[in-house]
Amino acid sequence: MEEKPARQARTQPTIYDVALACGVAPSTVSRAFSRPGRVNAETAERIRTVAAELGYRTNPLARALPTGKTDLLALVIADATNPFFFEIIRGAEEAASEGGYTMLVVDAQESVEAERQALNRTLPLVEGLVLATSRMSDSAIRVAAKQRPTVVLNRVVTDLPSVVTDNPRGMRRAVEHLAELGHTTLTYVAGPEASWVDGMRWRSMREAAFELDIKVRRLGPFAPTLAGGLAAAEKLRQQPSSAAIAYNDLVAIGMMRGLARMGARLPEDVSVVGFDNIFGSDFCTPPLTTVAAPLRRLGSFAVRALLDQMATRAPVLVRPALLPAQLVVRGSTTRKVRRSSAWVSASRATAGRTDPSGTA
Amino acid sequence: MEEKPARQARTQPTIYDVALACGVAPSTVSRAFSRPGRVNAETAERIRTVAAELGYRTNPLARALPTGKTDLLALVIADATNPFFFEIIRGAEEAASEGGYTMLVVDAQESVEAERQALNRTLPLVEGLVLATSRMSDSAIRVAAKQRPTVVLNRVVTDLPSVVTDNPRGMRRAVEHLAELGHTTLTYVAGPEASWVDGMRWRSMREAAFELDIKVRRLGPFAPTLAGGLAAAEKLRQQPSSAAIAYNDLVAIGMMRGLARMGARLPEDVSVVGFDNIFGSDFCTPPLTTVAAPLRRLGSFAVRALLDQMATRAPVLVRPALLPAQLVVRGSTTRKVRRSSAWVSASRATAGRTDPSGTA
DNA sequence: CAACTCGTGGCAACCGTTTGCCGGACGGCG
DNA sequence: CGCCGTCCGGCAAACGGTTGCCACGAGTTG
């Protein structure tokens, strides 16, 4: 008659419970799961069935303590409300779970301070890091990268594995497109100054314009939001242009709304090109011509690169990975019309008319 | 001359390192941080400065093992690409970090199986659970709730704390609105059958319509996506209606695109009302009249309820919490016009004209 | 038949905290 | 002066796995 006191049923069974029930040592149970082949096939089988009966589940916390294997990855995004990130999250999530990892999505709330804090909190928990559109300084990123394998997304940090959209090519295509439509002066509607991507796009635009013998101007900076785009519309009214390339789709859409509100007809009065092809860019009015980023691939690619790096214990990506962008032509761009921007003066006259966007 | 071997500088310093440097016991160091007041103020101060010098950071894994305190919460969402969740995530994140917790955002990818797996993976790590628009069965949810404090979001599960939008009132307002505009027959464009919310909305609509002496019809089910809305447009053409209330904004927007493509004029030919007021519903064409859910509050409220529940070790929410919805009237609804749905036949005639949505 | 190898299982240390318990010092009080 | 309560620090046992090392038996080989 055995009288080993049964463990509290209240708590999860442990390897000790399984070991007891099988008449083997705890270490054998452990190995039956973590090191298949290390124990006799029959024994392992027996252990596994008993474990299943008992409802044993290995405790990830206990496992992580001695080994450091948490099976957790962190994806830090600049702003959880920005639709730009949603397909990226999905892509990252897919690649992570394919590799047996769980994604920790961390929202930096567009604040360097919040990003730093959130990072500190999660860093010790995770095995690797994807920093998407980080607002932190290069050096802060390097500090993080020193502690955990890191991949930078949508930004390039020297000597750190980076994954970005091919902005120069994408911008080149956009400028060509507008040039073909007869536009001779292009306005860049800038995003936040802290943004690496903004600098990149502006530079690429100037280069492309130079080669194609097109004039460029720059407005901004503006917040990378619909509101930012609204503000940009105001500025654009003061310095009209037949065509504008916006920092991103959010700004482009916001700007188009602002322009429409002022009485501009789109795309006749202003051709607008956005960047990223986010959710909504196909059903705004007019549908937005945009340089589409391969969002989902961006996410999955970054995670796979991270996983590779973790596996080989050495950076795999020495050069920044450039994922191809693609110009999606929709309704927001059109041939330049001779008659120059009548809406600028007309706007005052029509200021009282019904707001076509429906919100005041 | 001491010759205690210095610990590997490679690894993070532990309480042992700090204890050694301070000449106290490790337990004292631990208490200096976790139980302030339990140790002498001076000692604690000394320990804290030395710890800071050494760059000591308490290891959350090691802490969690004996105590179970991971400071992690999980938010399981049905689909990371659905903009409905954007603001919910943000709200939840805010409330969580206010309470000193970190949010684990888990994507169920609209699949019951994926949801179950992801849940199994993360359950042992987290202290509490928010299930947002879970697609799992009530019983599966109860099983999870048995293991961790749980709050259900956007769905009601009997005897489990639930947080939902006040759908009946919101629907009532929508029906009233359309009734006032002269519509006498309303079509409900249904969402997925597995959706708790769909059932709720359909029922509420019938009740409201009954009271207001309005006739209702039901089309569907459709996927809760833009594509689902497109399919709905096709069905609506076969059974025209002067006004429709869609399962959610995604379906509403998709449907409007489909209708526009067929040559319908909106909102004159069909008035459309959506639900949720997601990102994009204000800049689609026409801007969508919708029953706005307090998305961010939904998220933060659910997390706060969860935190309360965890603190008091007992469900705090005995009744489902109803957060008020608000009808936002924009451009997609208008007074019923006498001349009945000309677009149905006209659509064939205009089939060849330029697609106003810009995509083929 | 001895020596060696291989397969398999057990022992015990370890990961870095937390915490119950103990005991010494000190101060107040009867 | 002795007793008691309080304050504070240390000891050691958890928490639940992983893993280096050893032991033992069977099979192989010279």
**Spatial CB neighbours of A275, under 8 Å, sequence gap ≥ 6:** A170, A201, A245, A246, A247, A248, A249, A252, A290, A291, A293
Say yes or no: B159 and B221 in one domain: no
Find the helix packing angle between A167-180 and A196-212, rounded to 10°.
40
CATH number at residue B46: 1.10.260
Helix ranges (H only) for A108-154 are 112-122, 138-147
Is B284 within 8 Å of A284 when comparing Cβ atoms? yes
As a whole number of angstroms, the distance between CA A316 and CA A313 comes to 9
Tens of pLDDT along chain A (360 residues)? 333 344 344 578 999 999 999 999 999 999 999 988 899 999 999 999 999 999 999 999 999 999 999 999 999 999 888 999 999 999 999 999 999 999 999 998 888 998 998 899 899 999 999 999 998 999 999 999 999 999 999 999 999 999 999 999 999 999 999 999 999 999 999 999 888 999 999 999 999 999 999 999 999 899 999 999 999 999 999 888 999 999 999 999 999 999 999 989 989 999 999 999 999 999 998 999 999 999 999 999 999 999 999 998 777 777 899 999 999 999 999 998 766 555 565 444 444 444 444 443
Residues of B in contact with A109 (CB under 8 A): 90, 93
With an 8 Å Cβ cutoff, are A83 and B80 in contact? no
Asked if A203 and A157 sit in the same domain, the reply is: no
Residues in B closer than 8 angstroms to A103, CB to CB, are 105, 107
For residues B91 and B300, the answer to whether their CB atoms sit within 8 Å is yes
- Domain match, B342 and B268 both: yes
Measured CA to CA in angstroms, residue A69 lies from A65, A72, A161, A322, B169 at distances of 8, 8, 22, 30, 49
The domain of B307 spans 68-165+296-323
Contact, B358 vs B293, CB < 8 A? no
Whether B345 contacts chain A with CB within 8 A: no
What pLDDT is stored for residue A316 in this prediction? 74
Whether A90 sits inside 8 A of B80 (CB atoms) is yes
Name the residue closest to the C1' of D9 by its CA: B28
Residue A5 belongs to a domain: no
CA distance B140 to chain A (A): 16
- CB-based contact, B60 to chain A, within 8 Å: yes
Query: How many angstroms separate the CA of residue B206 from the nearest CA in chain A?
Result: 29
Per-residue pLDDT of chain B (360 residues; tens, 9 = 90+): 333 344 344 678 999 999 999 999 999 999 999 988 899 999 999 999 999 999 999 999 999 999 999 999 999 999 888 999 999 999 999 999 999 999 999 998 888 998 998 899 999 999 999 999 998 999 999 999 999 999 999 999 999 999 999 999 999 999 999 999 999 999 999 999 888 999 999 999 999 999 999 999 999 899 999 999 999 999 999 888 999 999 999 999 999 999 999 989 989 999 999 999 999 999 998 999 999 999 999 999 999 999 999 998 777 777 899 999 999 999 999 998 766 555 564 444 444 444 444 343
Beta bridge partners of A216: A186
Co-location of B342 and B318 in the same domain:
no
Q: Confirm whether A95 is domain-assigned.
A: yes
In a domain, residue B146? The reply is yes
Residue A240 resides in a domain: yes
Q: What pLDDT is recorded for position A10?
A: 59
Q: Are residues B237 and B337 in the same domain?
A: yes
Distance (Å) from the alpha carbon of A265 to chain B's nearest alpha carbon = 15
Question: B219 and B73, same structural domain?
Answer: no
Q: CA nearest A97: which of A314, A309, A300?
A: A300
Distance between start and end Cα atoms, chain A:
82
Quote the pLDDT of residue A353: 43
Answer whether residue B3 is part of any domain: no
Nucleotides of C under 7 A from a protein CB: 7-12, 14-20
As given in the structure block, the two tokens for residue A176 are 């060509």
End-to-end CA distance of chain B: 82
B350 touches strand C (CB under 7 A): no
DSSP H/E element including B326: strand B326-328
Of the candidates A89, A253, A330, which has its C-beta nearest B283's C-beta?
A: A253
Mutate which: B97, B279, B353, vs A, most A CBs within 10 A: B279
The CATH number for A76's domain is 3.40.50.2300
Quick one: pLDDT at residue B343?
59
Using DSSP, state whether B248 is helix, strand or coil: coil
CA of B247, C1' of C27: distance in angstroms = 74
Q: Is B357 a domain residue?
A: no
Q: Answer whether A285 sits within 8 Å of B285, measured CB to CB.
A: yes
Residues B343 and B201 occupy one common structural domain:
yes
Residues B331 and B259 in one domain: yes
Q: Which two tokens stand for residue A156?
A: 């390039």
Residues A258 and A334 in one domain: yes
Q: Are the C-beta atoms of residues A199 and A319 closer than 8 Å to each other? A: no
Nearest DNA or RNA nucleotide to B16 (CA to C1') = C16
Residue B360 Cα, gap to closest chain A Cα (Å): 10
CB atoms within 10 A of CB A313: 7
Yes or no, beta carbons of A65 and B70 under 8 Å apart: no
- Count the domains in chain A: 3
Answer for the pair B75, A103: CB distance below 8 angstroms, yes or no: no
Residues 123-182 of A with CB under 8 A from B: 124-125
Token duo for residue A190: 């800038």
Test B93 with A83 for CB contact under 8 angstroms. no
Q: Is the CB of A31 under 7 A from strand D?
A: yes
Instruction: Show Cβ contacts of residue B295 under 8 Å, excluding neighbours closer than 6 positions.
Output: B84, B86, B87, B88, B91, B276, B277, B278
Best of B102, B283, B333 to substitute, by most chain A Cβ atoms within 10 angstroms, is B283
Dihedral sign, Cα of residue A134, residue A136, residue A137, residue A139: negative
A157 within a domain of the structure (yes/no): yes
Q: What is residue B359's three-state secondary structure?
A: coil
SS3 category, B2: coil
Return the pLDDT at B339. 60
B193 and B289 both lie in a single domain? yes
CB B247 within 8 A of CB B222: yes
- Work out if A24's Cβ lies within 7 angstroms of strand C: yes
- For chain A, positions 18-57, list CB contacts with chain B under 8 A: 57
Same domain for B176 and B159:
no
A349 — phi, psi (to 5°)? -65, -35
Measured from the CB, is B66 under 7 Å from any atom of strand D? yes
* Together in a domain, B178 and B270: yes
User: Nearest nucleotide, C1' to the C-alpha of A39?
Assistant: C8
User: For residue B341, is it within any domain?
Assistant: yes
User: What are the b/e assignments for B38-65, b being 16+ CB within 10 Å?
Assistant: ebeeeebebbbebbeebebebebbebbb
